[in-house]
Amino acid sequence: MIIDALYNKVQERGPICLGLDTRLDYLPQYLLDSELTVEEKLYQFNKRIIDETLDLVACYKLQIACYEALGLEGLRAYSRTLSYIRGAGALVIADIKRGDISSTAEMYAKGHFEGDFEADFITVNPYMGLDAISPYFKYLKTGKKGIFVLIKTSNESSKDFQELVAEGLPVYQHAAAKVKDWGSEFIGESGFSLVGGVVGLTYPQEFKAIEKVAPSTFFLIPGYGAQGGTGEAVAELFKEKTCGVINSSREIITAHKGKTEGEDFAKYARERVLHMKEDIGQWLK
Amino acid sequence: MIIDALYNKVQERGPICLGLDTRLDYLPQYLLDSELTVEEKLYQFNKRIIDETLDLVACYKLQIACYEALGLEGLRAYSRTLSYIRGAGALVIADIKRGDISSTAEMYAKGHFEGDFEADFITVNPYMGLDAISPYFKYLKTGKKGIFVLIKTSNESSKDFQELVAEGLPVYQHAAAKVKDWGSEFIGESGFSLVGGVVGLTYPQEFKAIEKVAPSTFFLIPGYGAQGGTGEAVAELFKEKTCGVINSSREIITAHKGKTEGEDFAKYARERVLHMKEDIGQWLK
């Protein structure tokens, strides 16, 4: 199962998920000044970073919003980047956070598990309940696709709804319980399910409580770096077991800023990933 | 403000929002058999239905999932359809249900309020709280754009989270209260806010309770027709005031099925819209 492949990568290389949340203003000047199309500029930027980090990271994540913001051209770059990552044998999470009723969720499943936008994993929003999630199960049954359901997101306003207390438990704990139920049919050799969860590194206590409710859940954990999460916080979560991937984007893909505007920009991304591995590793030891 | 424009259309023509949730298997055989590209087939289908209904409906709604399912080609048809509707002077809601943290929501706002995918209104998911919504306010301040926040969706599993009771109120009522707060700065001449809400026609009692909490909220109401909502149910909601638009998609855009597979297909969509207006109208009287 693909969750085992992801788990194995994390065991082997550490838990880094490199977020290609690419924006035009992140690009080095030489690329911005080139006569390439916007599509090509974005793609070349991503490709060089991927080439420099392919041996280091557990997986990649693309925030589709960054590409949607640039319209069709952006989405062409998105499609090519996904294809390049998968063609290189690496795993990729499409951070799309879709959520809609069943017949519509079927369309999203088709859109992001097949064709131009095919990814290995997608993120989904649970607000509409089971029938907004179950259409993905058909793909999970093949063992080749997985989902990460939003449980407790890394932003401050996640409290607005996710921390409302119902029947003695915050809403995010209800989400965790659902994720456990939904995922119980899809558990791989690693002991983890193809139905994973998104929990922010910014909420370590909540993380522990969620893990207790849903112990077979592999986590996609945003919030490292720019959002405030530290290597020490990661080590705390991973003390007992390898339980997920830690996403970092801006810090890595803008690491060249102030250092170079030239073709060597991607080596700073590599350096930054190595630094992140060290930061997490020193605490894990 | 654009919410006033929508309100006026509803006053003038009735509350029909025509959903162009177009799928290839909805297309008449003559189009499927033609040598046009998939993009062109989808666009031509939509264009003919728009041409036949432009004088009848309050607005259109495009479910982006149907287009994402077909990859880049689908999204080109999506972009052209939006542009055609807006070019014809009609209003269009992009049913995208996006929801993400602030820097990402900014990207979605740019993607769907500008450029290739520019729409007049978009639907958004509140699970991540205020900072996933506030990036849209910049556009709302111009008076030219609006959002519809998911409150109580029309599907059965909406109960999984939306009906959890916290502090004595179901989660969807908390959502309604937030929608009221968020929208208070953006109220137009009609008395309605640029921050609207999505509430399924399948939940008439919940609708009344939500309306009480958030009286300046204009509603996008799915669930008529295929999902079980009736003209009588609509009349009940509109008894005291014009409070929203009723979306219908499948019943209208597949009305030609079993009748024609030829170029005259769109006249059945027109007939169906007229029938829907009559169905709602007979109860409104």
- A75-98 pLDDT per residue, tens: 999 999 999 999 999 999 999 999
**Secondary structure (DSSP) of chain B:** -HHHHHHHHHHHH-SEEEE----GGGS-HHHHHSS--HHHHHHHHHHHHHHHHTTT-SEEEEEHHHHHTTHHHHHHHHHHHHHHHHHTT--EEEEEEE---HHHHHHHHHHHHSGGG--SEEEE--TT-GGGTGGGHHHHTTTS-EEEEEEE-SSGGGHHHHT-EETTEEHHHHHHHHHHHHHGGGB-TTS-BSEEEEE-TT-HHHHHHHHHH-TT--EEE--BGGGSB-HHHHHHHHSSS--EEEEE-HHHHTTTTTT-SSGGGHHHHHHHHHHHHHHHHHHH-
Q: What angle separates helix A266-284 from helix A38-53, to the nearest 10 degrees?
A: 40
- B246-273 pLDDT per residue, tens: 999 999 999 999 999 999 999 999 999 9
- Could you say which residues from 122 to 181 on chain A have a Cβ atom under 8 Å away from some Cβ of chain B? 125-132, 150, 153-162, 164-167, 171, 174-175, 178
- Could you say which residues from 204 to 243 on chain B have a Cβ atom under 8 Å away from some Cβ of chain A? none
Q: How confident is the model at residue B281 (pLDDT cuts 50, 70, 90)?
A: confident
| Contact criterion met (CB < 8 Å) for A102 and B155 | yes
- Across the interface, which of A112, A117, A125 has its CB nearest the CB of B127? A125
Position B270 scores a pLDDT of: 98
Interface test with B, best of A148, A160, A178, A227 (most B CBs within 10 A): A160
Position A10 scores a pLDDT of: 97
Q: How confident is the model at residue A21 (pLDDT cuts 50, 70, 90)?
A: very high
Q: Torsion angle, CA of B240/B245/B248/B253, rounded to 10 degrees?
A: 130
| Contact criterion met (CB < 8 Å) for A108 and B150 | no
Domain ranges, residue B84: 2-284
The reply to whether A252 falls in a domain is yes
Position B204 scores a pLDDT of: 86
Q: What is the largest CA-CA distance in chain B?
A: 59
Interface test with B, best of A81, A82, A95, A103 (most B CBs within 10 A): A103
CA of B262, closest CA in chain A: separation in Å? Answer: 26
**Quick check: B44 pLDDT over 90?**
yes
In whole angstroms, give the CA distance from residue B97 to residue B95: 6
In whole angstroms, give the CA distance from residue A40 to residue A281: 36
Q: What is the mean pLDDT of residues B47-74?
A: 98
CA of B37, closest CA in chain A: separation in Å? Answer: 16
Q: What is the mean pLDDT of residues B23-39?
A: 98
Residues A218, A3 contacting (CB under 8 angstroms): yes
**Quick check: A285 pLDDT over 80?**
no
**Quick check: A15 pLDDT over 90?**
yes
- Total domains in the fold of chain A: 1
- Across the interface, which of A112, A157, A166 has its CB nearest the CB of B132? A157
Q: What is the mean pLDDT of residues A12-35?
A: 97
In whole angstroms, give the CA distance from residue A144 to residue B74: 24
In whole angstroms, give the CA distance from residue A90 to residue B261: 45
**Quick check: B55 pLDDT over 80?**
yes
Q: Tell me the percentage of chain B whose pLDDT exceeds 90.
A: 90
Q: What is the mean pLDDT of residues A139-160?
A: 95
- Across the interface, which of A68, A157, A162 has its CB nearest the CB of B130? A157
In whole angstroms, give the CA distance from residue A65 to residue B98: 9
Q: What is the mean pLDDT of residues B215-228?
A: 91
Position A228 scores a pLDDT of: 82
Cross-strand bridge partners of residue B121: B93, B146
In whole angstroms, give the CA distance from residue B213 to residue A186: 41
- B36 interfacial to chain A (CB closer than 8 Å): no
Position B142 scores a pLDDT of: 98
Position A8 scores a pLDDT of: 98
The reply to whether A39 falls in a domain is yes
> Could you tell me where the beta strands, DSSP code E, fall in chain A?
16-19, 59-63, 92-98, 121-124, 146-152, 165-166, 169-170, 195-199, 219-221, 244-248
| Contact criterion met (CB < 8 Å) for A110 and B69 | yes
Position A225 scores a pLDDT of: 83
* Catalytic residue ranges of B: 97
* Interface contacts A/B by beta carbons within 8 Å: 187
Position B284 scores a pLDDT of: 78
DSSP letter at A21 equals -
Q: Residue B65, Cα to own-chain centre: how many angstroms?
A: 13
In whole angstroms, give the CA distance from residue A268 to residue B272: 60
Cα-based distances in Å from A164 to A161, A175, B167: 5, 12, 8
Residues B195, B183 contacting (CB under 8 angstroms): yes
Q: What is the mean pLDDT of residues A264-285?
A: 93
- Could you say which residues from 51 to 110 on chain B have a Cβ atom under 8 Å away from some Cβ of chain A? 63, 65-66, 68-76, 79, 97-102, 104-105, 107-108, 110
- B130-149 pLDDT per residue, tens: 999 999 999 999 999 999 99
- B41 interfacial to chain A (CB closer than 8 Å): no
**Quick check: A120 pLDDT over 80?**
yes
In whole angstroms, give the CA distance from residue A220 to residue B133: 23
* Chain A nearest-CA residue for B63: A104
- B230-245 pLDDT per residue, tens: 899 999 899 889 999 9
Q: What is the mean pLDDT of residues B52-67?
A: 98
| Contact criterion met (CB < 8 Å) for B132 and A155 | yes
In whole angstroms, give the CA distance from residue B110 to residue B104: 10
Predicted TM-score (pTM) of the model is 0.97
Q: How confident is the model at residue A65 (pLDDT cuts 50, 70, 90)?
A: very high
Q: Which residues of chain B make contact with A126, given a CB cutoff of 8 A?
A: 127, 160-161
CA of B199, closest CA in chain A: separation in Å? Answer: 12
In whole angstroms, give the CA distance from residue A54 to residue A43: 16
In whole angstroms, give the CA distance from residue B22 to residue A285: 55
For chain A, what is the mean pLDDT?
96
Provide the CATH number for the domain around residue A237. 3.20.20.70
In whole angstroms, give the CA distance from residue B205 to residue A259: 61
In whole angstroms, give the CA distance from residue B52 to residue B267: 6
Structure tokens belonging to residue A133: 């999630």
Q: Label residue A200 exposed, middle or buried (CB < 10 Å: 0-12, 13-18, 19+).
A: buried
More reliable by pLDDT, B203 or A60 = A60
Position A80 scores a pLDDT of: 98
Q: How confident is the model at residue B225 (pLDDT cuts 50, 70, 90)?
A: confident
| Contact criterion met (CB < 8 Å) for B161 and A174 | yes
Q: What is the mean pLDDT of residues A180-188?
A: 97
Determine which helix (DSSP H) or strand (DSSP E) holds A139, and give its type and residue range.
helix A137-140
| Contact criterion met (CB < 8 Å) for A75 and B75 | yes
Q: How confident is the model at residue A227 (pLDDT cuts 50, 70, 90)?
A: confident
Q: What is the mean pLDDT of residues A55-65?
A: 98
Q: Torsion angle, CA of B153/A178/A229/A146, rounded to 10 degrees?
A: -90
Q: What is the mean pLDDT of residues B152-159?
A: 92
| Contact criterion met (CB < 8 Å) for B69 and A21 | no
Q: What angle separates helix B266-284 from helix B231-238, to the nearest 10 degrees?
A: 50
| Contact criterion met (CB < 8 Å) for B127 and A132 | no
- Across the interface, which of B71, B130, B166 has its CB nearest the CB of A164? B166
Q: Which residues of chain A make contact with B155, given a CB cutoff of 8 A?
A: 101-102, 128-129, 131-132
* Chain A nearest-CA residue for B100: A97
Amino acid making up residue B244: G
